[in-house]
Amino acid sequence: LSQGADAERVAGALAGLGLWTRRLVGAHGVALAIREHSAAVDISRIESLPGVDQVFRAEPRCERLAAQAGRPVEISGAVFGGGDPVLLAGPCSAESKAQVREAAAVVAARGARFLRGGAYKPRTSPYAFRGHGRQALTWLRDAADAEGLGVVTEVLSEGDVQAVAEVADLVQIGSRNMQNYALLAAVGRTGRPALLKRGAGATTDAWLLAGEHILAAGAEAVIFCERGIRSFDSRTRNLLDLGAVALLKHVHRQPVVVDPSHAVGRRDLIQPLSCAAIAAGADGLLLEVHPRPCEAMSDGPQALPPHMWEDLVDALGLGLVKV
């Protein structure tokens, strides 16, 4: 602040702009520190306030994200950030050629633009089913082509990046690998667009910087995907953080989708939270849909059966206009 400025009045003016401040005292003057949960405000509006001498701020660290900000991203014909939510749907795992075909037909029939499905599955136990690998990639590509869908599928290992990138229109990096920088770079180098899930214990800053890692390595685009974070309540599988979605969309202006299936893990809450995600600003939804959840090899309890998928699409179509 300027010498002689009335700190309380300046703090009030900053509050008027939506800024939380903390008063700091130095030997020769007073400063106001702006807290992190303040609204985003153009710096010139602060500089022009009476009593403000100089505004200090952190230098931007995310040039590639800045370049991507606010621009719709088109991937295999679907536009993220173009107004209509993009639906990416399908089973947790690609279990068989027939299952993948059936799932693709179910989701395509109601407007999904991408088929999701895991060929490589990260599993907490080393003894659990880990996916059908390259074979499953073929199933996904064929089924997607038959229905006019894009493919989004996860890659777990640097060694599989090339194979996955050849098949997938959107290469998924899972929650557990959000800070696996070697994998981020390997995916980035393929140039393909990436879908970056948020780590369950990751701050929004670390998530954005992980996206910058991918872009810096050469990816065409990064789509962020919120899938729930760790919390202390056991009634939902994870904690869906729609504040982070609103932050990424409305402040950082990045393309962002939501995976309500993993976020809550409860089939009975997926519909209202899908609607909420879109209202918060999500550009799309990543959803687990399985022709027969009772036969699913993984995540059956959170997969939507076809009739619930249809109801969900209806609810989205009728009930919500993006804000």
The distance of closest approach from Cβ of residue 171 to a copy of itself in the complex, given in angstroms and rounded to an integer, is 15
318 is an interface residue for a copy of itself by CB under 8 A: yes
CB atoms within 10 A of CB 24: 12
Residues from 72 through 131 that contact a copy of itself (CB under 8 A): 122-127
- Tokens, residue 101: 């075909």
Binders of a copy of itself: how many residues, by CB under 8 A? Answer: 118
Burial class of residue 35 (count of CB atoms within 10 Å of its CB; 0-12, 13-18, 19+)? exposed
Whose CA is closest to 113, among 142, 139, 72, 74?
74
Stretch that binds a copy of itself, among 83-91, 104-112, 136-144, 272-280 (CB under 8 A): 272-280
74 versus 295: smaller Cβ distance to a copy of itself: 295
59 is an interface residue for a copy of itself by CB under 8 A: yes
Sign of CA dihedral 294, 298, 304, 306: negative
Measured CA to CA, the distance from residue 323 to residue 204 in angstroms comes to 22
233 is an interface residue for a copy of itself by CB under 8 A: yes
13 is an interface residue for a copy of itself by CB under 8 A: yes
159 is an interface residue for a copy of itself by CB under 8 A: yes
295 is an interface residue for a copy of itself by CB under 8 A: yes
216 is an interface residue for a copy of itself by CB under 8 A: yes
The distance of closest approach from Cβ of residue 90 to a copy of itself in the complex, given in angstroms and rounded to an integer, is 17
Whose CA is closest to 67, among 211, 256, 165, 197?
211
Stretch that binds a copy of itself, among 85-93, 103-111, 143-151, 269-277 (CB under 8 A): 269-277
The distance of closest approach from Cβ of residue 238 to a copy of itself in the complex, given in angstroms and rounded to an integer, is 8
How far CA 234 is from CA of 2, 88, 242, 262, 273, in Å, comes to 51, 27, 18, 14, 17
